[in-house]
Structures are given as structure tokens and as C-alpha cells.
Structure 1
Amino acid sequence: MAAFQPLQPISRFLLPRGPLLLRPQTRLLMQHATGLRHASTPAKGLSAEFLRRKAAQQQKATPVIPQPDIYRPPSHGSRKPNRNLENRIYGPPVSEEDKKRMATKKYPNMMSPEGSFSFWFLHDRGIHMWITLGILVTLSIAAWYMDFLSRTIYAELLPTRRDFVRHPYDTTKRFIEVYKMHMEYTSQLYTQQRLKKAEDVDKRRQYRLERQREAELKGEEYVEDPRYYVGEDGVRRRRVKRWFGIWE
């Protein structure tokens, strides 16, 4: 009679894929058939012993070895420091004259003492405000003067710096005269531009009226271009559409 042979597990990739409930449980068959235990399966007999040893190890306190005094540094004595002796001053008491002298003494690499000129210069708000405003005014005057030199046509009539040093009064008077000439010239330019603009507006208005008369004589209706409109100043401009407040 043939001996009983244990069942051999079938490889997973050889089994057909079916529902989970209908798949054969090969691991259970192997355990019941061969009686072997996998390494990943925890042993029941060692779990209680393992927990007991772990609890005993946790109950043990960490041993503390006392530090001998021979290795203790001088800055960390064995006794607690006395807080009352921290602000103690060794030597004779400091007098009022010594305090005043120490307050006004200049120490290297430190801020200037009170009462000195450098302390006043660094902490006074008035002197800082005066310096700041002086720099801003100087820069604004320099910018205005450079712009004036780049725009005026009378730059050759302006006095030089040497003349200002030698004759400041006459140089200032001459500069004012040249500046008045420059202002008169710019006023004339602006007046001519304004008159030319008004003349152009009048010509456009006359042109539109003439077109309307021609249309009336021919019996036609004069229709203006809806793409343009005439503003309050008489200038004909193109209408611009807006979408959500943004120019087209």
C-alpha cells in the first residue's frame, strides 16, 4: 500500500483568478498538511515571556553616577551660588565725583558720553532735520537749474561761476533778467500754441457747417459719423468703446 504523501502547494500564478471567496487557501492547506510554521508567524509561547522581559526592563531606572569633586570645574561649585553677592563691588565705595567722571569719560570703541559734542551731534533732532532739509533743497535747486539750462535759448547770456564769485550782486541781477526773458519767450510760445489750437477748432466748425449747408441745398440729410463726436472744446474725437471699464 502506498504511503501517504502530503499535498504540494500549487503556485499562485498557475491558479485561475476568480472570486475571493472561491480562491483556494493554499497557506492554510500547507499549515495543516505539513505542520510547518513560517518565520513571519509569531510564536504563541514566546509572546508572554517577551512582554514580561520588556516590562521588567522598563521598570529599571537609569543609573546615575555621581561626579567626583576632583573633576568639578571652578565655575560650577558643588554649593549653590549666593545671589546676594552677585552685585557686590570689591574695593572702596564709588563717590559722586567718580560717577560724574566715569559718565563723561570717553572709552574706546564705545558711544560718546553725555555732554560731549559728538553725543549732541548724534542725538539732536534739530541738527539732523536741518541737514536733511538742506540737502533736499540743494538737490531741488540743482535739478531746477539744470532743467532751466536745457530749455532756455538764452544760455549764452547767463553769467559764469567765476563772475558769481567775483561779483555776486551783479551776477544775481543779470540772472534774474535772463530768467525774465526766458519766461516771456515761453509765454509767447504757449500763447501761439493756444491761438493755433483755437483757430483749428474754428476751421473744423466752419467745415462742418459748410457740409450741412451743402446737404440742405441738395435736399439730403446730413448724418455725422457715429464713430466720432465733438467735445466741449470743439475738437472732433473718435469714440472709444469700453469693456468692463477697460479701454478697447
Structure 2
Amino acid sequence: MRATARIRAVADGRGGTALPVLAGEGPLALRRVRTDAGSRGEAGVMLVGAMSAPLGGDSLAVDAEAGPGARLALGTAAATLALPGRGGAPARYRVRLAVAAGAAVRWLPEPLVSVRGSDLAVHTRVELAAGARLVLREEQVLGRTGEAPGLLRSRLTADLAGRPLLDQELACGPGAPGGWDGPAGLAGHRAAGQLLVVDPEFAAAPPAAAVLGEYAVAMPLAGPAVLVSVLAPDALALRRVLDAACRTYGR
């Protein structure tokens, strides 16, 4: 199956955000929702799974653009389960976020769960203009309770004003490069996540590097941005740390 969800947000000229494009396909159904920041002109969009996906062989994509001055919050209604397909082919899931100058996007999906026997490649690509704001959270859970994970390859890239800001990749599960679960990798943990915050105000007052827990660190990037990386034993513990980091850096 191939399916793409397309979202375009624009400032409506009255202090709010309009959504002239809100189109989902296949399992990627889109619903407009209220947000906590709605009074500040933010539009909320929720991805609702209309069927089981991604299955092996599927190619899914989310393509979102926020024009100058627009404020957009994106999320998912439930965790995404990467499931095995009949033919054993890998599945692909691509997310593209384009954020114009003066715009702000929050991408806060529920966790991605790598189910035993699955094979999924995820690529989240962010294109930020100078003066754009971003809060992005990603959470990967290796297997359901008591279950071995599938093969998961997750890449996050971000460009700011046409220059690279971040490019990192995680590969884990059967078939991943050796050592992924060793002391230099996940060290036995079954949940991993990151929070990327880009804010022009960081240019004048960049966040300092900080240890946020036994397996959680905040690292300033070479730009007005900070990256929080976390390992945890399960999804609940992971979310607690990322929520606290979001309150600290995401404002």
C-alpha cells in the first residue's frame, strides 16, 4: 500500500491558522482538533489510523508545511505498530516537515512500536527557514510486552536556513549492525527517544549541556537548537523524561 497525508497551514490574517490542505489517504486519516495553545492561533491536526499499518511492503508518508506566521500542532491518536507483512518486504514511513520563517510546528506523535518480525525504515526530515520554531518528539519501543523487536531503522535529519543542523540514525533489532543492544548502544533498554527543539531565542541564550537522568542528556546543537536523547526500560518511563524536557525547553 502507498498512502500520503498532506497538511498545509497558513496564517489567516486574524491571528489564527487556517488549513487550506488537509488530505489523508488509506490508513492516514486526518482530523482537525483543538489544542492547548489554540487561543494563541495554533491549529491542531491528529492522524487517526483508519486501518492496520505500516505492514511489510507499505510506503506511507506525512507531508506538512507551515507558511509564514502559521502555528501547527501535529500528533497521532494512538501508538503506531510496525507489523510484518506476508512477503517479508520492508515497510517505509516518511515524515517531512517544512517550516517557514516566523512559523511554529509541534510534531508530537505517540510511540512507534517495532513488533516481532516487522521490518520498518522511518525517515523524518525537517526543513526550517531562519526564524522558524520546532518542537519534535520521537519515541521508539522495541517490541510489545515480553516480545522481541523487529528490525527498525530510524533516521532524523534537520536543515536550518539551508544548512545541516542534525543528522542521526538508529538501527536496532534482528539484522541491525552488531552491538546495537550492547553497552555502547541501547544497553538492554527497550525504549529510546529524542526531543528536538529549535527556537530563535536560543541564539542569544543557548541551553547548556545537561544530564537529565541516568540515561538522558540534553545537548546544544550548532544552531539555535537543543537535542534531548533518552533511553528507558519502557514507554512510560521514556515519556516522563521527555515530557519534563519539553516543559524545560519547548516552552
TM-score relative to the length of structure 1: 0.16
Structure that is richer in strand per residue: 2
